[in-house]
Structure 1
């Protein structure tokens, strides 16, 4: 499987926009249809984020042509996630402006804070997803930003689906919460460094 680069990000963005255009073309522009669009782009963001979040771990645990492709294209998968979540944010803003009641009153202040920080980190990670940015920042600082950012974004997804499960329907949202939790497990297991043969013998 080849490295697609920016074509992958463009394809993901066009696909999401086309899907939303079809959705609003059929359903019209209402609080219900915008809420459905917010949910849909949240799920597309989760899928794209998950691929970037566990790409290296999946390659270590279950190496295959698909895992190698994910690793090779991780940067552009991450940028596709940033694009999807930017569209998600645009729909949230549209809902806040066009259908503020009861949408705004139902959002706790903590959710805006966690989400705001997440979007700031997404923007910083997207802007620094270049070789030039890596050289300018230094690999140590670049990696710190992207590790902290990825775990913060993961936490936002986890908290979001915990909230959705509480509001219901639980049977629909619970699988997304389980999926999000499994991502963290895969990431951690995949990053456990195996002991060297010497340490295995002596330990």
Structure 2
């Protein structure tokens, strides 16, 4: 698979329908790192900004990392069918605004979603043409090391994440392709090729 090298734009080949790519995988596998590196190289690839009821972490900005809403606002989005998918994790709710995704695809832009397993399954149901990519760790021990090495979460939260990770790893066969995150650069090159392939 070859990475796109021409200029700063990453256009969809002529005559090709823009693709919705869903990147998922267990917590701690490096999804955010991969996405950040991809968008640094190709800022024209549109990444959907999720809605969440979680409180902002230091440095996070509304509308950039997330759209921060309260539970009542989130309920309204769900009731009005404005979310492509939604999920709850560790007491917080997350969702993908449907309209923005549809608008960018209609404009011919490749769209990337970085969501969890539950969300990926919902997207598969509502948008069957979406391409589901599973980001896997090199091994279980490495995933445990990454999760416990963050130092930002309590042992109880880490335990929940590890249990969730076992479930998520078991769902790998539901995805169209698996990329093993041994090198961020390699994964980004392969992901970019998948997003722009005819």
Task: Tell whether the structures are fold-level matches, with TM greater than 0.5.
Answer: no
TM-score where L is the length of structure 2: 0.28
Q: Over alpha carbons, which structure has the higher Rg?
A: 1
- Normalized against structure 1, the TM-score is what? 0.28
